[in-house]
Structure 1
Amino acid sequence: MRYGLHTGYWAAGPPTGTAEAVLAADRLGFDSVWTAESYGSDALTPLAWWGAATSRVRLGTGIMQMSARTPTATAMAALTMDHLSGGRFVLGIGASGPQVVEGWYGQPYPKPLARTREYVDIVRQVLRRDGPVTYAGTHYRLPVDGGTGQGKALRSTVHPLRSDLPIHLAAQGPRNTALAAEIADGWLPAFVSPKLDAAYREHLADGFAARSPELTPSESFEVCASVPVALGRDLESAADQIRPHLALYIGGMGSATTNFHRDAIERLGYTQECAQVQRRYAAGDKAGAAAAIPLELVLDVALVGPPAAIREQLAAWESSVVTTLILQTDPRLLPALAEVLGLTAD
């Protein structure tokens, strides 16, 4: 098992202590550092800024929203980051949801799987640099139809450091997960649990069966799961640190009809609990929504408690399909967590 650090979303400004935590992750033997974006801070700028002071950790976007950039713009950013980091960049992308895509980016959301397939095709074409980039898809066309009629198929002026730069897909549903296994180099899930490991393996197997032989072998496929972590004197006090986070994603994310995070948690068997959390959150009772999160749910999707309890909980994750645990935690706790995880500084 490898471990990563998730720097999380910004609120009013940069999260306190994150720059120091990124340096600590590099020093303490963490595998990777990941940044996020929603509709505030972007994922690339902090990764480049904080990552410039590191030398070992991989630098991943978890995630870049596809609707925020054209496929070629994403490929440009990826090859640039890969050069600047000396081959440590991981391109994590995802479709996001209709509320953000249509409300913030002004782009249509329907057919996210088909759009993702075309998007990744174009990014890989840029990275291969076999010739000028052309594409005649349903969602993306290069050169574009119409316009001035002067559009020209172009090839990147920059030679990518790695033509096989890893692309990871964020996915939570069964079909999206299978698509990640079919066309990507890794899967970036959230709110997964070892209790559904057999189902995850089945979805991934479906995708691997359709995987092109031109891609890296499925044996090298990564599963980098974001997992909330909280240290505490006991399970309940530690779980209290995670409950508001889960309540936000269950009750405050997405729309009333489309919330992929809630769907993932309902698949764990918490349909009634999710409905109660959503009702309270929608009514403005955020504290009540958090209180409605049972300890069992926290233990299913997070690592919580004193060090001995967290070490015990890790056993289930280590035998699961997950290859990297991306820790979502208070950045000031990173040195203590590294000790719990058995990581040591050089």
Structure 2
Amino acid sequence: MRLGLALGYWGAAPSPHFLDLAVEAERLGYDSVWTAEAWGSDAFTPLTWIAARTSRIKLGTGIAQMAARTPTATAMHAMTLDHLSGGRMLLGLGLSGPQVVEGWYGRPFPRSPLTAVREYVDVVRQVFRREKPVTLDGAYHPLPYPGADGTGLGKPLKPILHPLRPDLPVLLGAEGPKNIAQTVRIADGWLPLYFSPTADGSGLYAEPLAAARPGFTVAPLVQARVCEDVAEGLAPIQAMLGFYIGGMGARGRNFHADLMARMGYEAEARRIQELFLDGRQAEAVATVPAAFADEISLVGPRERIADRLAAWHASPVTDLLLTARDPLTLRTLAELVL
């Protein structure tokens, strides 16, 4: 397995240590560093700063939200950073959910998410290949724009910039079974938000991943912390899960809650959501099972983490994208995995 550093997105202000962590990860032999975006910091700008201070580590958006940019604009960002970094860009994309797409970006959430994602990736790859002017007869991302409210003067265009890599990797964040199956067909890799190496044995991921071609990347986000007290180490993970499962979605449509339910915790997922949406956030967090938080993370003393890594090695995972925020955890995982 390879290791990646997942820096996520910023809170109220930039993290003062994100650049130092990325530099240390490269020194330790990590393969990649990833940034994210929600409704604050963007995913591409921090990677540019990291690219300027590093020379080898790959630079991934994990994830860039599709609603934030047209597919051609996203392709421009990726090609530009790929040139500036000497070919280190990894383009991770995700659809996000209705609350963010409609509430923050002011765009309708697609009635057919699979079609919207497929069209987006199609356009991005056309830009990367630069074989001919980009066109798409699509429902969500048509080019040129065909709407009656336009001028009708739209012209198919080919990017001025020659891509450094026409096959620049595209990875997708996907949670539902159909989304994962499509990801295997159209992308170079999958970025799971929650991944349990034990759940793979139950067939949750086995069927879609069986169709993956050689070299397909499976790179889950894994909360990691080296500490003596396991319960203490799991507490912030449970808090994060309470927020995502309880509040990152509407009562009847929360992709994170649905995923937790499919992973064997349906009653708990629905209770967490009910409590959170009723304004009882502390109770929602307290309802998150420690077993679930533990299943999708690597927390505890060095020896415990070493034992738990065996299940990850036996799974289809190719890369662990670690959320570590301290040099000790970064170094320990490098020693154990690399």
TM-score (norm 1): 0.92
Alignment partner, residue 339 of structure 1: 332
* Structure 2 residue runs without a partner (length 5+): none
Aligned equivalents of 1:249, 1:82: Cα separation in 2: 32
CA contact (8 A) 1:181 1:205 kept: no
Structure 1 residues 20 and 140, CA, compared in 2 at 3 Å: closer, same or farther? same
Runs of 4+ residues deviating >6 angstroms: none
Deviations 1:140-175 (A, max 9, x none): 221111422221111111110000000001001100
Structure 1 residue 343 displacement after superposition: 6.6
| Mapped pair 1:174 → 2:177 | yes
Alignment partner, residue 202 of structure 1: 207
1:33 match: secondary structure: strand
Aligned equivalents of 2:274, 2:16: Cα separation in 1: 32
Structure 1 residue 344 displacement after superposition: 10
Structure 1 residue 289 displacement after superposition: 2.1
Alignment partner, residue 227 of structure 2: 232
Alignment partner, residue 24 of structure 1: 24
| Mapped pair 1:289 → 2:284 | yes
Aligned equivalents of 1:87, 1:56: Cα separation in 2: 10
CA contact (8 A) 1:59 1:90 kept: yes
CA contact (8 A) 1:167 1:185 kept: yes
What amino acid sits opposite 1:47 in the alignment? Answer: L
Alignment partner, residue 143 of structure 2: 142
What amino acid sits opposite 2:80 in the alignment? Answer: T
CA contact (8 A) 2:222 2:323 kept: yes
CA contact (8 A) 1:338 1:344 kept: no
Alignment partner, residue 249 of structure 2: 254
Alignment partner, residue 272 of structure 1: 267
1:3 match: secondary structure: strand
Structure 1 residues 133 and 223, CA, compared in 2 at 3 Å: closer, same or farther? same
Structure 1 residue 321 displacement after superposition: 0.9
CA contact (8 A) 2:43 2:64 kept: yes
Aligned equivalents of 2:278, 2:98: Cα separation in 1: 22
Q: Over the residues paired in the alignment, what is the CA RMSD in angstroms?
A: 1.7
Deviations 1:227-275 (A, max 9, x none): 1112221322221232111111111211212111111111111112222
Percent identity reads: 50
CA contact (8 A) 1:28 1:344 kept: no
2:13 match: secondary structure: coil
Deviates more, 1:333-342 or 1:105-114: 333-342
CA contact (8 A) 1:28 1:335 kept: no
CA contact (8 A) 1:143 1:152 kept: yes
2:50 match: secondary structure: helix
Deviations 1:258-297 (A, max 9, x none): 1111111111111122222223323433332222222211
- Equivalent residue runs for 1:51-70 within 5 Å: 51-70=51-70
1:60 match: secondary structure: strand
TM-score (norm 2): 0.94
